[in-house]
């Protein structure tokens, strides 16, 4: 099993791809071919635990890891870290619709599923590829990735982690989660700008020759915990495979029958993982890509034109406030039949002109598997309210976007295929926007009083990791201009 770059033909192992994070040509690592999960293997996975399924699926990609190394990574990530030892439970909402709850981990967001295991994958990979170097994890976050990465990498030997987030582009709870993070190897810094500024800055720093020389002198090497790292993407494939197995085990579908998948989408990694599960053999019919008011992905899937030259909106679903969806590059690579030169040209156009368009043939291939829609702020609130009143199910602002867009998809198409909707965050992470949707009472100014109010109104419990923030000290207070990100890194690394 080897990996190549979306922009240049390469041949690297899984360990090299994970340790490096991003290809030196600026491209993203993708598998040279997709390992297959046969129907027989799927049947064997059905009665298994989540950890057993994870070992089986990840082993197909990590075949330069020993079985013992894969098991070590999986057990380290998924033992004692998720509610009821169930990382990705399914909740039946009726009418063939199921919530895949991905927020039962230590930071209450779907990123935990990947970022609890990535430190294990990365340290094992580093021992194989760079045994004498300190791995420096560089992260740009729109909210959830930052805290999940910090929680995973804090005080992990042989690593340092630096997280950048937009000063006014994350929720108060997300910000508090990051800025209270302890650990001798962690640094957290706000930037004046939005998530795209942070992500673009990180990518430039990865490719900066002077920074590479600085790292080499200090026996350090960059890697990434963003979904541009295949070590982030692979664990996400697992929960779509697992969701299919749970539908079969629960009698909701028969083995071999398809499911649909709907995902609230910003950087395109979560929905891409579902596509990879299909490429491996999981019967998935349609991918429904749900956008918020920053509906660049919806426009792309409908027209074939990707144009970031548009207004940027700060919304109640901040993890989706993105105009440069990095993982879309991987999809383009597959749609263009693994033509790295074509993809490099598209990325050059995006960088220079802020836009590109795909051929009619590629658009047809895209629309055969993907549908897309968007949901504005008002509709997001209405969806949270409706779901709570009709199903007594409380969801966050991101998940509500996917619910609304999927409802519209069903109305338009009449497609009754059983569906899995990725529920990506605890509603308590966005309580200031969730509470008004289900209750008309005055919103408490204090963030923790707000959590308690939401718990009382909804008859649900405040997640322990969020309740514990009340007593934690803010440790990270730095905010820099986007042009000063490299300077902050140098000062932290010494």
Q: Could you tell me which residues come within 8 angstroms of residue 383 by beta carbon, excluding any fewer than 6 positions away?
A: 375, 395, 400, 401, 403, 404, 407
Confidence (pLDDT) at 441? 81
How far apart CA 229 and CA 18 sit, in angstroms, is 6
Residue 193 is encoded by which pair of tokens?
A: 């700008």
Closest CA to 31 of 11, 58, 50: 11
Residue 142 clears pLDDT 90, i.e. is over it: no
Residue 227 clears pLDDT 90, i.e. is over it: no
How far apart CA 60 and CA 296 sit, in angstroms, is 33
* Confidence band for 24, pLDDT divided at 50, 70 and 90: confident
Residue 143 clears pLDDT 80, i.e. is over it: no
Beta bridge partners of 357: 305
Average pLDDT for residues 402-424, to the nearest whole number?
98
Cβ atoms of 52 and 70 within 8 Å: the answer is no
Closest CA to 25 of 341, 352, 349, 358: 341
How does pLDDT run across 258-294, given as a tens digit for each residue?
999 999 999 999 999 999 999 999 999 999 999 999 9
How does pLDDT run across 157-189, given as a tens digit for each residue?
999 999 999 999 888 888 999 999 999 999 999
DSSP 3-state of 430: helix
Q: Which of 111, 175, 404, 453 is catalytic?
A: 111
How far apart CA 489 and CA 26 sit, in angstroms, is 20
Residue 399 clears pLDDT 80, i.e. is over it: yes
Residue 114 is encoded by which pair of tokens?
A: 């990947």
How does pLDDT run across 92-102, given as a tens digit for each residue?
999 999 999 99
Residue 1 clears pLDDT 90, i.e. is over it: no
* Confidence band for 226, pLDDT divided at 50, 70 and 90: confident
Residue 241 is encoded by which pair of tokens?
A: 């495979």
Confidence (pLDDT) at 42? 98
Average pLDDT for residues 459-480, to the nearest whole number?
96
3-state helix, strand, coil in the chain (%, to 5): 50, 15, 35
Residue 359 clears pLDDT 90, i.e. is over it: yes
Average pLDDT for residues 205-226, to the nearest whole number?
92
Cβ atoms of 218 and 493 within 8 Å: the answer is yes
Residue 312 clears pLDDT 90, i.e. is over it: yes
* Confidence band for 203, pLDDT divided at 50, 70 and 90: confident
pTM score above 0.85? yes
Q: What is the mean pLDDT of the chain?
A: 95
How many other β-carbons are positioned within 10 Å of the β-carbon of residue 262? 30
111 is catalytic: yes
Q: How far is CA 135 from the centre of its chain?
A: 21
Closest CA to 242 of 195, 217, 277: 277
Confidence (pLDDT) at 281? 98
Closest CA to 144 of 425, 484, 466, 393: 425
Q: Could you tell me which residues come within 8 angstroms of residue 202 by beta carbon, excluding any fewer than 6 positions away?
A: 138, 139, 140, 164, 224, 226, 485
Closest CA to 115 of 147, 67, 162: 147
Cα 176 to Cα 156, 164, 476: the distances in Å are 22, 14, 10
């Amino acid at each position: 099993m080897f990996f190549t770059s979306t922009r240049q033909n390469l041949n690297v192992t899984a360990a090299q791809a994970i340790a490096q994070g991003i290809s030196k040509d600026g491209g993203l690592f993708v598998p040279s071919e997709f390992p297959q999960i046969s129907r027989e293997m799927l049947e064997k996975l059905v009665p298994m635990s989540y950890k057993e399924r994870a070992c089986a699926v990840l082993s197909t990609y990590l075949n330069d890891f020993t079985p013992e190394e894969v098991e070590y990574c999986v057990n380290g990530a998924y033992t004692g870290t998720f509610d009821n030892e169930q990382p990705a439970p399914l909740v039946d909402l009726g009418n063939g619709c199921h919530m895949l709850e991905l927020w039962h981990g230590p930071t209450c967001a779907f990123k935990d599923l990947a970022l609890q295991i990535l430190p294990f994958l990365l340290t094992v990979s580093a021992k194989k590829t760079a045994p004498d170097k300190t791995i420096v994890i560089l992260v740009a976050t729109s909210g959830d990735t930052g805290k999940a990465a910090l929680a995973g990498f804090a005080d992990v030997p042989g690593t340092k982690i630096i997280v950048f987030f937009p000063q006014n582009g994350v929720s108060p709870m997300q910000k508090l989660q990051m800025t209270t993070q302890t650990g001798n190897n962690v640094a957290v810094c706000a930037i004046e700008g939005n998530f795209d500024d942070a992500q673009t800055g990180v990518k430039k720093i990865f490719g900066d020759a002077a920074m590479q020389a600085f790292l080499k002198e200090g026996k350090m090497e960059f890697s990434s915990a963003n979904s541009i790292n295949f070590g982030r993407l692979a664990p996400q494939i697992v929960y779509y495979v697992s969701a299919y197995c749970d539908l079969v085990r629960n009698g909701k579908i028969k083995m071999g029958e398809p499911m649909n998948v709907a995902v609230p989408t910003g950087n395109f990694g979560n929905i891409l993982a579902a596509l990879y599960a299909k490429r491996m053999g999981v019967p998935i019919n349609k991918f429904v890509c749900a956008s918020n008011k920053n509906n660049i992905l919806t426009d792309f899937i409908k027209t074939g034109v990707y144009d970031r030259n548009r207004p940027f909106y700060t919304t109640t679903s901040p993890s989706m406030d993105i105009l440069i969806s990095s993982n879309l590059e991987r999809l383009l690579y597959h749609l263009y039949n693994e033509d790295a030169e074509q993809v490099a040209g598209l990325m050059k156009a995006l960088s220079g002109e802020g836009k590109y368009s795909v051929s009619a043939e590629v658009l047809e291939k895209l629309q055969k598997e993907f549908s897309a829609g968007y949901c504005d702020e008002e509709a997001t609130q209405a969806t949270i309210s409706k779901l709570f009143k009709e199903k007594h199910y409380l969801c966050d602002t991101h998940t509500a976007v996917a619910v609304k867009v999927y409802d519209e998809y069903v109305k338009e198409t009449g497609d009754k295929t059983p569906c899995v909707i990725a529920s990506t965050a605890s509603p308590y992470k966005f309580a200031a926007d969730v509470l008004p949707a289900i209750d008309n009472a005055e919103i408490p100014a204090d963030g923790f009083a707000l959590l308690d109010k939401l718990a009382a109104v909804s008859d649900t419990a405040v997640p322990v990791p969020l309740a514990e923030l009340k007593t934690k000290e803010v440790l990270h207070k730095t905010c820099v201009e986007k042009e000063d990100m490299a300077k902050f890194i140098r000062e932290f690394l010494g």
